[in-house]
Amino acid sequence: MDRIAEVTRVTKETDIYIKINLDGSGKSKIKTGIGFFDHMLEGFAKHGLFDLEVKVKGDLNVDCHHTIEDTGIVLGEVIRRALGDKSGIKRYGNFLLPMDETLVMCGVDLSGRPYYVSDLKFTNDRTGEMDNCMVDEFFYAISYSAMMNLHFVQMRGVNDHHIIEATFKAFAWQQLLTKGLMECFLQKVLFNSINFTNFLNNFV
């Protein structure tokens, strides 16, 4: 049975709907109003093999803060709900992801105890329409809403785009490992829910 959850959250600043299938194939439909943020969430879904739908209306006339932080709150909530009683998963996961000159490590403990640690460093204030300081705010929100211990270590990196993209993809891959890469491979490839070529092409 697929692990699926959906949450709607409406506040004065944002109106957010997110649906996730942890046992999906990497399909996504993302619309937050922030192009670069959409790109990062699409990468998260693709590399984690999650089916992800995100619809966000936020007060972007103010800035991107509420939109990104509240999306993290709701994404963490749907991950927590989709995991259910956490049966069949690995509690700990980590992944080291290179992207050109950048190398980022992500570690997770699905302990039910939220904690967030990051040493990400950026050169500029923004990447596209996204404030770089919101990367930590986003993942902090996920960690506390999903009740997970989440760490990022930036081992190398100069280009802000690469650092942020490596962070999102490392988070996706450790989630994939936590839910079991071999289990995912058997379920999605050997049992023909997706073909082997598509499975490999998913990560290009």
Domains, the chain, ordered by start? 4-201 (3.30.230.40)
Q: Which of 100, 107, 82 is nearest to 177 (CA)?
A: 107
* Residue 15 burial class via C-beta count within 10 angstroms: exposed 0-12, middle 13-18, buried 19 and up: middle
Q: Which of 120, 165, 175, 166 is nearest to 143 (CA)?
A: 175
CA distances from 164 to 2, 48, 62, 91 (A): 29, 16, 23, 25
CA distances from 100 to 50, 104, 158, 163, 165 (A): 25, 11, 10, 10, 11
Quick check: 29 and 17 in contact, CB under 8 A? no
CB atoms within 10 A of CB 128: 16
List, for residues 138-175, the tens digit of each pLDDT value: 999 999 999 999 999 999 999 999 999 999 999 998 77
pTM of the prediction?
0.87
- Amino acid identity for residue 23 in this structure: D
pLDDT, residue 185, reads: 47
Range 95-99 average pLDDT = 94
CA distances from 198 to 48, 50, 174, 194 (A): 14, 14, 20, 7
Range 20-40 average pLDDT = 96
Is residue 94's pLDDT more than 60? yes
pLDDT, residue 197, reads: 53
